[in-house]
């Protein structure tokens, strides 16, 4: 991928209005003047990231759910290590569950080179599994180089033709990310720095507190960690007043367990509620709440073409069952459902009407919408929306359409829906959430 021209310098102090919106839990405001490039699969993403990291001068921040130990992951690790050796500040955060199998290898690749690697909610001891909050995972896929180029999407650090549970595959999984230049990069940088610091505090804070009485240095380090967290949580982008009116308009929408608990779900629902002509949505894990389903059904009833692309090649049986228990309800209202067959589906992408599109890490299920840390880029731009829509058209052409009557109602359907609802209910209860979903 040819590197886009560099953007104007980023201002690091946020406007009062945007900071107030962030603190209130509202999605970040739209920013103009961005360049957002769609990237299909790791085959496209990883070379772009490696090229950017090779040119890094100041900093590289990376957050991912899975950092595997396959050749593609090793190439990225080598680029990160090389940057650290030449003096670039490289900081990587991985999820303790997603990277649990390969953490030793990832540490061997990165730590000796001077990469600051931390783990979000580590599971290195058996009692870690019993700690509160372990069902809430880091599911974001973010990377920022020199605060000038950002990557956001659904692609983990693992080759496209390797599945952790099913082994090598002939066809690459369907997945997407975006490369971003412009004012939005500062928001991506803030989100990545924030989750890295949050994970580092989680790992180090208890050790620092226990060591306070042993000398001044541990206390000094703990204070500096706290200051870093506060800095990362307050940095926002002001940009130019004129930029807010220029294309390409985009926003970073994150879901966390602090102030932005339903930001991504709300962004989806608001876009679907405004849909006039079409809603095209791709997700591997689909079990939305009632408000989301009602928005899809209402859009179909008022004449918008609503099309879902879901898994045909199922990787987790309970996930496949969860989606299929909703088929009858949606098909009866005119929603079109397609199952992607060539390979595993991992994309989390949507297009609404002619100029709204999103690419990110969030599935449409309770884990993503209510528990995990997620990040999506939302773009208002007709050309970008057409590019995403063209990719989705290709995916539909390779999919099998589910016809009404394929999943006829009956005792099995009723029991299946009851089972999924029961599992979702108790999973959320164990995660500390209550209420109807």
Buried b (16+ CB within 10 A) or exposed e, 318-356: ebbbbbbbbbbebbebbbbbbbbebbbbbbbbbbbbebb
DSSP 334: T
Which residues, in sequence order, are bridge partners of residue 358?
350, 378
Q: Contact, 4 vs 37, CB < 8 A?
A: yes
Q: What is the length of the chain?
A: 437
The CA distances from residue 172 to 40, 88, 143, 310, 388, in Å, are 10, 33, 22, 16, 18
Active site residues: 139, 141, 146, 346, 348, 353
Residue 279 has phi, psi (to 5 degrees) of -135, 110
409 half-sphere exposure, CB direction, 13 A CA radius = 6
The CA-based angle 23-368-345, given to 5 degrees, is 140
Q: How far is Cα 42 from Cα 175, in angstroms, rounded to an integer?
A: 8
Among 38, 37, 33, 52, CA closest to 183: 33
Which residues are CB-neighbours of 130 under 8 A, at least 6 positions away? none
Q: Contact, 433 vs 371, CB < 8 A?
A: yes
Consecutive H or E run containing 340: strand 336-340
Question: What DSSP letter does each residue of 259-300 carry, written as one string?
Answer: S-SSHHHHHHHHHHHT-SSEEEEE-SSB---HHHHHHHHHHH
Among 141, 242, 231, CA closest to 192: 141
> What is the chain's percent helix, strand, coil content, to nearest 5?
40, 20, 35
């Amino acid at each position: 991928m040819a590197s886009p021209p560099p953007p104007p310098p980023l201002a690091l102090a946020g406007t009062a209005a945007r900071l107030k919106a962030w603190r209130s839990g509202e999605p970040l405001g739209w920013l103009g003047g961005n360049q957002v490039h769609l990237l299909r699969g790791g085959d496209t993403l990883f070379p772009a990231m490696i090229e950017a990291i090779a040119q890094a001068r100041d900093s590289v921040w990376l957050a991912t759910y899975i950092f595997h130990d396959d050749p593609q992951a090793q190439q990225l690790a080598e680029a990160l290590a090389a940057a650290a050796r030449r003096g670039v500040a490289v900081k990587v955060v991985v999820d303790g569950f997603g990277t649990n199998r390969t953490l030793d290898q990832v540490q061997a690749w990165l730590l000796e080179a001077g990469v600051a690697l931390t783990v979000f909610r580590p599971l290195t001891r058996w009692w870690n599994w019993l700690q509160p909050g372990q069902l809430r995972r880091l599911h974001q896929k973010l990377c920022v180089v020199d605060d000038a180029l950002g990557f956001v999407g659904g692609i983990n650090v693992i080759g496209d033709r390797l599945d952790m549970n099913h082994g090598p595959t002939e066809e690459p999984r369907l997945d997407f990310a975006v490369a971003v230049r412009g004012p939005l990069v500062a928001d991506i940088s803030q989100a990545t720095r924030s989750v890295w610091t949050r994970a580092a505090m989680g790992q180090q804070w208890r050790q620092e507190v226990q060591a306070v009485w042993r000398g001044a240095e541990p206390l000094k380090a703990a204070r500096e960690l706290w200051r870093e967290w506060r800095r990362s949580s307050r940095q926002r982008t002001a940009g130019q007043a004129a930029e807010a009116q220029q294309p390409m308009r985009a926003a970073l929408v994150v879901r966390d367990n602090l102030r932005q608990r339903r930001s991504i779900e709300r962004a989806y629902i608001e876009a679907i509620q405004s849909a006039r002509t079409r809603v095209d949505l791709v997700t591997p894990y689909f079990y939305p709440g009632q408000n989301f389903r009602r928005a899809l059904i209402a859009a179909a009833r008022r004449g918008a073409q609503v099309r879902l692309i879901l898994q045909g090649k199922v990787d987790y049986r309970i996930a496949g069952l969860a989606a299929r228990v909703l088929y009858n309800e949606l098909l009866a209202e005119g929603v079109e459902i397609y199952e992607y067959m060539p390979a595993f589906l991992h994309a989390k992408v949507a297009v609404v009407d002619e100029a709204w599109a999103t690419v990110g890490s969030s599935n449409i299920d309770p884990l993503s919408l209510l528990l995990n840390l997620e990040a999506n880029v939302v773009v208002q731009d007709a050309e970008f929306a057409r590019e995403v829509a063209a990719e989705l058209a290709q995916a539909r052409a390779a999919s099998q359409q589910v016809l009404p009557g394929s999943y006829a109602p009956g005792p099995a359907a009723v029991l299946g829906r009851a089972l999924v609802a029961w599992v979702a209910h108790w999973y959320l209860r164990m995660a500390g959430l209550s209420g109807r979903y």
